[in-house]
Amino acid sequence: MVEKIVVVTNRLGLHARAAAQLVSAANRYQSLVRIERLDKSAAADAKSILSVLMLAASRGTELKLTADGTDENEAINALNGLFAEGFGELSP
Amino acid sequence: VSKRARKGAGEQTWRGLGVSDGIVIGQVLRLHNGTCQVFRATIKEEDIERETHRLHAAVRLATRQLLAIKARAETELGADHAYIFDAHLLMLEDRKLLEDTEAFIRAERANAEWAVRVVADRFLAVYAEIKDEYLRERGSDIEDVTQRLLMALGGAERQDTSILTENAVIVAENLLPSAVAELDFEHARAIATDAGGWTSHTAIIARSLGIPAVVGVRQLHRRVRTGDLIIVDATRGDVILHPAHDTIEKYKVAAASSMETSSIVTEHDVAKLITLDEREIVLRANIELTAEYEGIKRFGARGIGLYRSEFLLSRHGSIPGEEDQFEAYKRIAELGGEDGATIRLFDLGGEKIGPRLTDHEQNPALGLRAIRFSLKNEDVLRHQIRAILRASAFGRLDIVLPMIMDLDDVRRSRKIIGAESALLESENIATGRVRIGAMIEVPSAVQLARTIAAEVDFFSLGTNDLVQYMLAVDRSNDDVADWFQTLHPSVLQSIYQVLTAANAAGIPSIICGEMAGTPAYAVMLLGLGATELSMTSSSIPRVRQVISGISHRDAHDIAMKCLQCGTAGEVEQIVRDEYLARWPQLFSTKSLPVIRHKT
């Protein structure tokens, strides 16, 4: 199992479009991928958009990503990348 | 805001808010959305499997519908309106939703409809607790998907709006985004909804398509049936159900005369527009959404006067790459035809862009926006310039620089445009001749118009921002709405000064903004010296009709009088008196500005 701490940087947080990107990415991997708020108030299955939306992760929220499975490294890198680039909301 | 009165047998009138002008007599097409009534039923043990199968079948049906809607939204409304359906599709596929619903069916021996409703309500309850307002509002997406699923379970196909009769009037409680995207824009003649306001999705789409719409008509939806005769008078905000014979006759006359001013153009309309004293006036189109493209031809616009390129961004701020932009601008160039199209560089900043770049500005309107944003984020600017220059090989394109303060802004921008142009040439990529204009909307640019005119190819006047900056009044703040005075003499003097400077320098100017699309204001602009106006294309027929019925000389005399005034109230008084005296056939007291303060 691998894990990584990420921060939500895009202004509107994990809203529908960002969540859709996240879930689509997670679905490409076999591994079980989970997202947990660092404040422990909520945790989600990264392959369920409703559960991701329930994290209510607004901008600045710190999250812990965990992946467990044969392609856990690829999965966590892909998701980490999405957070790092603010779900494409910043880059031209 | 609804008022109901009975008249004769069965005729009922409601008053709502007209958000897109026009009069239509038609038949109701009642859309059931937002209110699928669900009842609890206890099912037999042996029927549980059948019930879960029904659930899965409904999910498949709803998925097929959503895929079709998404494809349609992409082509007709643009990718930025279609993305939301990706999220809706994922919700339908969501394991949590399916598993919870199935578990509920099994545990409670509940019918699938009830299970879907209960599970969705649990999600919605969690959502309602979210502190972040924006995220909380996303609950409406869950409700949209839930309704679609319930509809699919009911076995009722979502109504096929592609078989609309010629004169269908859409009546709904509230048009959810997916329902608006599904509408057959060819045959839907009018829209009336129980909910909604001026800025609702319904209102925006209706205006851009030129379909009359009345929103906020309380309790209308539950009282109509598909096929009922109905009159929508969006000009007054009235909706009349089961109209009596004489009411219909009365509205037929009114509808016919409103058709003259707001319907499809005749050949005569595309001809040159001249005033009675033969001054040629050019009317062009302001464009934001893909759905508006059709209106350019339909309403007889002479090309595109203002393409607001920031509408290419998705609702949440991601900037499309050079290739996507190139494709979009190429389409715009082709649509502009021989009259061409003017692309305004991204007017970004404040609300519209991601976090790092515009961190909590105290005064977004005075902050890092428009050309300032682009000059600070040169990569964004360079990509956009390249895309426009490449697209200009396919049709006449001009660039207008938004929010220019002085020549520094112009020169810095021109330098980058020049560099990108040279770069493209060295790569042997074809480009056309692109003119560069300055958007005049900041008081400093008004003051310095003469010097700016010497170094640009044209001026574009953005009246909305000009009023806001000239009077230091925030146009979105209701508390100061009384101070937002479009006809303020300082605004008129500014416009006059800018038009005069352009004229002296021998460059053209075009006026964009809501002022140009309002007939009474358009006449004032003509009087101040304007010859090119750009507006939402559905406003063109109205403005065209008025302009062809006046002489420039008269408009000029009135405008010069107004320039001497000290308050907006004095200007409004002159406008009312003079317009009514000179052009009683074109203006009525209703179509003229009200006077705020008696002078």
pLDDT tens, residue by residue, B330-348: 999 999 988 999 999 998 8
Q: Report the pLDDT averaged over residues B158-178.
A: 65
Predicted local confidence at residue B182, as pLDDT: 62
pLDDT over 60 (residue A63): yes
From the list B319, B354, B383, the residue facing A10 with the nearest CB is: B354
Q: Please tell me the predicted confidence (pLDDT) of residue B204.
A: 66
Which residues of chain A make contact with B360, given a CB cutoff of 8 A? none
Q: Is B479 exposed, middle or buried (0-12, 13-18, 19+ CB in 10 A)?
A: exposed
Residue B292 pLDDT > 90 = no
- The model's pTM: 0.57
Closest by Cβ to B134, choosing from A12, A86, A92: A12
pLDDT bucket at A91, cuts 50 / 70 / 90: very low
Q: Spell out which residues of chain A touch residue B126, defining contact as CB-CB under 8 Å.
A: 54
Q: Which residues of A touch B94 (CB under 8 A)?
A: 48-51
Proportion of chain B above pLDDT 90, given as a percent: 44
pLDDT tens, residue by residue, B387-441:
999 999 999 999 999 999 999 999 999 999 999 999 999 999 999 999 999 999 9
Encode pLDDT of B92-106 as tens digits: 988 888 999 999 999
Res. B140: pLDDT tops 60:
yes
Contact (CB<8Å) B316/A89: yes
B537 or B374, higher pLDDT: B374
Residue in A with minimal Cα distance to B137: A15
Phi-psi region of B249 (alpha: psi -120 to 50; beta: other; left: phi over 0): alpha
**Residue type for position B128:** A
Which residue, chain included where needed, has tokens 């352009």?
B502
For the ranges A81-85, B77-81, B271-275, B483-487, the lowest mean pLDDT is seen at: B77-81
- Using an 8 Å CB-CB cutoff, list residues of chain A that contact chain B: 9-20, 23-24, 45, 47-51, 53-54, 56, 58-59, 86-92
Instruction: Please provide the DSSP assignment of B111-140 as one string.
Output: -HHHHHHHHHHHHHHHHHT-SSHHHHHTHH
Maximum average pLDDT range among B202-206, B329-333, B346-350? B329-333
* Preferred mutation among B59, B96, B98, B126 to probe A, highest tally of A CBs within 10 A: B96
Q: pLDDT-derived band of residue B563, with 50, 70 and 90 as boundaries?
A: very high
The residue annotated as part of the active site, out of B187, B201, B242, B556, is: B201
pLDDT band at B134 (very low <50, low <70, confident <90, very high): low
Instruction: Answer yes or no: is the ipTM higher than 0.95.
Output: no
Q: CB A24 to CB B87 under 8 A?
A: no
Has A30 been annotated as catalytic? no
CB spacing of B96 vs A13 below 8 angstroms? no
As a whole number of angstroms, the distance between CA B104 and CA A80 comes to 35
Q: How far apart are CA B406 and CA B164, in angstroms?
A: 54
Q: Is residue A36 scored above 90 in pLDDT?
A: yes
- Phi then psi for A84, rounded to 5 degrees? -60, -35
Q: What is the mean pLDDT of residues A30-57?
A: 90
Report which of residues A92 and B248 the model is more confident about.
B248
C-alpha A44: how far from chain center: 9
Statement: residue B291 has pLDDT above 80: no
**Mean pLDDT, chain B, whole residue set:** 83
**Residues B429, B435, B441, B446, Cα dihedral to 10°:** 140
The residue in chain A having the minimum alpha-carbon distance to the alpha carbon of residue B359 is: A11
B192/chain A closest Cα distance in angstroms: 28
Res B339: pLDDT: 92
State the smallest CA–CA distance between residue B138 and chain A in angstroms.
Answer: 7
pLDDT at B108 over 70: yes
B interface with A, Cβ–Cβ < 8 A, is 83-84, 86-87, 90-91, 94-97, 123, 126-127, 130-132, 134-135, 138, 141-142, 314-319, 321, 353-357, 377, 379-380, 383
From B36, B512, B562, B565, active-site residue: B512
CB-nearest to A92 from B95, B315, B383 is B383
The predicted pLDDT at position B258 comes to 57
Predicted confidence at residue B123, as pLDDT, reads 84
- pLDDT at position B72 over 70: yes
**Region B234-245: what's the mean pLDDT?**
89
pLDDT bucket at B214, cuts 50 / 70 / 90: very high
Q: What's residue B530's pLDDT?
A: 97
The mean pLDDT value for B193-214 works out to 73
- Mean pLDDT computed over B444-452: 97
Angle at which helix B519-527 crosses helix B568-582, to 10 degrees, equals 100
CB hemisphere CA count around B205 (13 angstroms): 26
Looking at per-residue pLDDT, the higher value among B210 and A23 belongs to A23
Of A7, A59, A10, nearest in space to B357 by CA: A10
Interval B569-580: pLDDT, tens: 999 999 999 998
User: Bigger pLDDT: A42 or B437?
Assistant: B437
- pLDDT value for B81: 60
Query: Using a CB-CB distance cutoff of 8 angstroms, which residues of chain A are in contact with residue B383?
Result: 92
Burial per residue of B386-410, b for 16 or more beta-carbon CB atoms within 10 angstroms, e otherwise: bbbbbbbebbbbbbbbbbbbebebb
Please give the pLDDT value at position B270.
58
Instruction: Give residue B185's pLDDT.
Output: 60
CB contact under 8 A, A20 and B83: yes
Task: Evaluate if residue B318 carries a pLDDT over 60.
Answer: yes
Closest Cα in chain B, distance from residue A12 (Å): 7
- Residue B112 reports pLDDT greater than 60: yes
Between B476 and B420, the higher pLDDT residue: B420
Cβ contacts of A59 on chain B, cutoff 8 Å: 355
- For chain A, the residue count is 92
Region B519-529: what's the mean pLDDT? 95
Paired tokens of B472: 């230091």
DSSP SS3 for B232: strand
Range in B292-296, B435-439, B553-557 with the lowest mean pLDDT: B292-296
Mean pLDDT for A8-37 is: 89
- Would the pLDDT of B188 be above 90? no
Mean pLDDT of B43-54: 90
Q: Which of A15, A20, A32, A51 is catalytic?
A: A15
Counting every residue, how long is chain B?
A: 599
Ranking A66-80, B112-126, B541-555 by mean pLDDT, the lowest is B112-126
